[in-house]
């Protein structure tokens, strides 16, 4: 397998860093359709599902906690690229369809030298199939599936390569996938809407290759993708408006893939990209890209709103049960340019380059509770909030980043290569924002208008030593630095905060850059006469100023704190082997021990000292499992006119916490239901507390696929999640844990058939 992990072509066994590169066919055989499925098949790589189109990526246990939708200023810890173009956007990194990809490269460890900010813990790259000169080829793929106790789905995908004369070609890709739903939503009248989390993903890629001579290659491309989901994969444990414990409101049975909602919760994301890349002999490559994305997320904020209007204020039922759609919208545009030169002289291979990015991101939230003012007699109209606008925000960010980078490899002997690299970067961020509405006003009762700015300069070096033991075995060691840019905190929702929480969480207008030094040793080996490979790596990451996301208590706000010290240490191993022409298998496993090494405290007016949001030395880093493993095996049965095959996949993901502080809730955790006394909605309750898992339990997934290859056709029957494992992926909460306690969950057992044809 050839990869471009160091922005040049090398085999995966030659590149002296830890890399995994599953191909499209491997991922298809393993039942992988999303980046979350990819992570389950790659050691040391994890994705926390936070709802439709929203996921949080971590590599090698480096994670600072759950990023929420209303934190647009938070930067990425792991970078995402589509070929050479950066596509990362904190929580909303595009989950690109895996059809017609060459491979996905997962580069573990800091990649700050060559890939910059956002690649602090590693980089994930979608590598697409490029246009090919002189070749006419097409492929179609069709699937149909049905979910146990859910609805049906399916997909249709097509790719074609068309030569244009002898020096040009175009490649056209189009895809559409319909996702079945499996979550039922109980309504206030106790009717049930079935399978509310259905939706679709559709997109197209058009790429062009112009290669007039050996010294010039030009490859422009256009991509557009839209994901539209109609609901959330959420299981409610407790909802303040619909729960089994109430005595003065209709009791609602929850659990078993059920949630309580009053309105639909759609999420729509569109992503468009135009880029161009040229390569010449002297100027190795020049790349320009322009991206534009829209994200619209509607949440049923009934539980949150009711906890304030009914629980805190004590307004009557006809007010706190009003429909409360909270609309989150993001508009982001980015332009990037990169110029690279590369060459070789004597025993030295070198690469230098420059990078520039200009990004604008507009974000806002609108909570329009129609009828609120008329019923409550509380005025809400203000600077930007209209009548019945309880919370209204408008945030506008401008980012500019420039960098110079270089890396060189010196072959000291025929067996020893030494590599050194350095990246210098400069970053500026400015923000204008306004928070309005009765939930967003300051302590003076007026809208909060707080512009801000941040900037940073720094360097990210990398040193690698690689030693060739034999033609089949190599050792390497490296020390490398990654970085994550700082940012600006949003103001607290002061009108909702208790005095104690104002002291604890106030006074933090911004947060600093996060940096990571990684120390790593590894070995890469070809085994059994090149029929297999065995790779292993061990690492230690020293993290400073970890950007920990915390819930600001009663304020219904989120704040980023810098934790001075943290660390992650562990190892990963990968084995792939084809002992015969009929049988092959692969195994990957990782163990990561990532912990905080500092404690943050707050002191109240009485002098009492408390730990802030569970940020204490020795606590586990959130959202990442300590142990992760995957195994797959394929057996082929050649017949007279066709080949049958059977593929089995096993995935294990260890236990994890969703955000920092969850570990200190206890497991099982207990949450009081009477924190809004005397205005306990639906009270008195049949019990005054609820227990739940604060630690997401480990889970195991098994996928099977039985197929037949005959000529141009590949037809298979498959079952994903054979054992119907109900995995808890993340803990979802509103207003701390007082308004709603829920889990994000995975897709149940799914049966399907797929057909792929080449022509």
Measured between alpha carbons, how far is 694 from 621 in angstroms, rounded to an integer?
14
Residue 182's pLDDT is: 97
Mean pLDDT of the chain: 92
389-400 per-position pLDDT tens digit: 999 999 999 999
Q: Considering the entire predicted model, what is its pTM? A: 0.92
Supply the DSSP symbol for 308.
I
Q: What is the mean pLDDT of residues 417-431?
A: 94
Question: What is the average pLDDT across 288-301?
Answer: 91
Of 242, 204, 237, 196, nearest to 52 by C-alpha is 196
Mean pLDDT of 598-626: 89
pLDDT at 282: 53
- Tens digits of per-residue pLDDT, 491-519? 888 877 888 888 888 888 888 999 999 99
- What are the backbone dihedrals phi and psi of residue 112, each rounded to the nearest 5 degrees, phi first? -65, -30
> CA 578, 583, 586, 587 torsion: positive or negative?
negative
Residue (of 504, 506, 512) closest to 491 by Cα position: 506
Q: Is the pLDDT of residue 649 over 80?
A: yes
547 vs 53 pLDDT, higher one:
547
Output the pLDDT for position 504.
84
Give the model's confidence band at 91: pLDDT under 50 very low, under 70 low, under 90 confident, else very high.
low
Say if strands 267-280 and 285-300 run parallel, antiparallel, or are unpaired.
antiparallel
Domain ranges of the chain: 2-758
Neighbours of 498 (CB within 10 A): 11
Strand bridging mode 55-59 / 45-49: antiparallel
Q: pLDDT band at 740, cuts 50/70/90?
A: very high
Output the CATH code of domain 2-758: 2.40.170.20
Tokens of 321: 């049960």
């Amino acid at each position: 397998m050839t990869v471009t992990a160091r922005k040049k072509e090398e085999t995966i066994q030659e590149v002296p860093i830890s890399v995994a590169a599953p191909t499209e066919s491997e991922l298809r055989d393993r039942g992988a359709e999303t980046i979350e499925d990819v992570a389950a098949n790659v050691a040391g790589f994890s994705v926390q599902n936070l709802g439709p189109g929203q996921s949080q990526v971590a590599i090698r246990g480096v994670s600072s906690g759950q990023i929420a939708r209303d934190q647009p200023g938070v930067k990425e810890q792991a970078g995402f690229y589509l070929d050479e173009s950066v596509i990362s956007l904190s929580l909303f990194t595009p989950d690109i369809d895996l059809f017609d990809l060459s491979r996905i490269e997962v580069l573990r460890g800091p990649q700050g030298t060559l890939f910059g900010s956002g690649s602090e813990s590693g980089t994930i790259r979608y590598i697409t199939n490029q246009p090919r000169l002189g070749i006419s080829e097409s492929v179609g793929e069709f699937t149909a599936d049905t979910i146990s106790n859910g609805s049906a789905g399916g997909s249709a995908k097509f790719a074609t390569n068309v030569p244009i004369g002898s020096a040009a070609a175009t490649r056209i890709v189009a895809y559409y996938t319909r996702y079945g739903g499996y979550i039922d939503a109980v309504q206030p009248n106790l009717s049930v809407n079935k399978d509310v989390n259905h939706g679709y993903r559709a997109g197209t890629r058009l790429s062009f290759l112009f290669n007039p001579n050996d010294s010039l290659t030009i490859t422009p491309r256009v991509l557009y993708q839209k994901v539209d989901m109609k609901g959330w994969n959420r299981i409610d444990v407790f909802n303040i408006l619909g729960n089994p414990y109430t005595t003065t409101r209709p009791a609602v049975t929850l659990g078993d893939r059920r949630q309580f909602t009053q309105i639909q919760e759609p999420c729509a994301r569109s992503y468009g990209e135009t880029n161009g890349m040229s390569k010449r002999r002297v100027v190795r490559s020049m790349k320009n890209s322009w991206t534009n994305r829209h994200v619209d997320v509607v949440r049923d904020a009934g539980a949150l709103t009711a906890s304030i209007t009914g629980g805190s204020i004590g307004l009557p039922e006809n007010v706190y049960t009003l429909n409360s759609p909270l609309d989150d919208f993001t508009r982001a545009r980015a332009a990037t340019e990169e110029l690279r030169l590369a060459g070789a002289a004597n025993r030295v291979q070198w690469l230098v380059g420059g990078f520039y990015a200009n990004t604008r991101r507009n974000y806002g939230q609108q909570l329009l509770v129609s009828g609120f003012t008329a019923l409550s007699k509380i005025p809400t109209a203000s600077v930007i909030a209209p009548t019945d606008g309880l919370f209204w925000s408008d945030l506008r960010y401008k980012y500019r980043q420039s960098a110079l980078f270089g890396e060189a490899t010196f072959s000291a002997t025929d067996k020893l290569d030494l590599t050194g690299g350095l990246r210098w970067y400069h970053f500026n961020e400015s923000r204008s924002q306004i928070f309005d509405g009765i939930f967003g006003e300051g302590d003076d009762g007026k809208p909060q208008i707080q512009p801000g700015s941040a900037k940073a300069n720094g360097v990210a070096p990398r040193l690698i030593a690689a030693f060739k033991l034999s033609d089949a075995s190599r050792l390497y060691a490296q020390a490398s630095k990654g970085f994550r840019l700082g940012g600006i905190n949003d103001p607290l929702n002061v009108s909702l905060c208790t005095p104690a929480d104002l002291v604890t969480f106030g006074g933090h207008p911004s947060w600093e850059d996060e940096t990571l030094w990684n120390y790593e040793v590894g070995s890469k080996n070809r085994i059994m006469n090149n029929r297999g490979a065995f790779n292993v790596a061990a690492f230690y990451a020293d993290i400073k100023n970890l950007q920990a996301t915390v819930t600001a208590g009663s304020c219904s706000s989120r704040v980023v704190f810098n934790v001075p010290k943290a660390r992650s240490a562990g190892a990963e191993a990968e084995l792939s082997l084809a002992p015969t022409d009929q049988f092959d298998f692969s195994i990957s496993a990782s163990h990561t021990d990532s912990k905080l090494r500092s404690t943050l405290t707050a002191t109240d007016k009485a002098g009492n000292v408390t730990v802030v949001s569970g940020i204490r030395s020795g606590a586990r880093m959130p959202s990442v499992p300590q142990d992760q493993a995957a195994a797959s095996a394929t057996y082929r049965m050649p017949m007279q006119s066709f080949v049958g095959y059977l593929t089995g996949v096993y995935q294990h993901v260890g236990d994890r916490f969703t955000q920092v502080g969850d570990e200190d809730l206890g497991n099982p955790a207990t949450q009081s239901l009477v924190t809004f006394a005397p205005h306990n909605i639906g009270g008195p309750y049949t019990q005054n507390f609820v227990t739940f898992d604060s630690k997401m339990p480990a889970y195991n997934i098994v996928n099977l696929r039985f197929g037949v290859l005959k000529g141009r056709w590949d037809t298979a029957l498959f079952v994903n999640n054979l054992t119907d494992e109900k995995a808890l992926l993340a803990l979802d909460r509103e207003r701390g844990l007082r308004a709603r306690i829920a889990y994000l969950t995975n897709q149940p057992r799914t049966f399907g058939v797929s057909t792929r044809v080449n022509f």
